[in-house]
Amino acid sequence: MPRPIWKGTLSFGLVSIPVTLHSGETSFDLHFRLMDSRNKAAVRYERVNEATGEEVPWNAVVKGYEYAKNNYVLLTPEDFKHANVAAVETIEIQDFVSRDEMQFIYFQKPYYVVPQKKTDKGYVLLREILRDTKKVGIAHVVVRTRQYIAAVFPCCDALVVDLLRYRQEVKDPSEFDLPTENLKAYKISPREMDMANQLINSMTTEWKPEKYHDEYRDSLMKWIQKKVKAHGAAPATEEEPEKKTDGKNVDMLELLKRSIRNGHNGVHKAASR
CATH assignment at residue 126: 2.40.290.10
Instruction: Output the pTM of the full model.
Output: 0.72
Give, rounded to a whole angstrom, the gap between the first and last alpha carbons of the chain.
50
Q: How many domains does the chain have?
A: 2
Per-residue pLDDT 10s for the chain (273 aa) are: 678 889 989 998 888 899 999 988 887 777 888 888 888 888 888 889 989 989 999 888 888 988 888 888 888 877 877 776 667 788 999 999 999 999 999 999 999 999 998 889 999 999 999 999 999 999 999 887 788 999 999 999 999 999 999 999 999 998 888 888 988 888 889 998 998 999 888 888 888 888 877 787 888 888 888 888 887 777 776 665 555 555 566 788 888 888 888 875 544 444 433
Q: d(Cα 238, Cα 171) in Å, to the nearest integer?
A: 41
Distance (Å, rounded) from C-alpha 151 to C-alpha 133?
15
Q: What is the pLDDT of residue 108?
A: 92
pLDDT of res. 270:
40
Residues 188 and 158 in one domain: no
- What range does the domain containing 262 cover? 183-272
Domain check: are 111 and 241 in the same one?
no
Q: Is residue 176 part of a domain?
A: no
So what's the pLDDT on residue 103? 93
Residues 100 and 210 in one domain: no
Residue 241's pLDDT is: 55
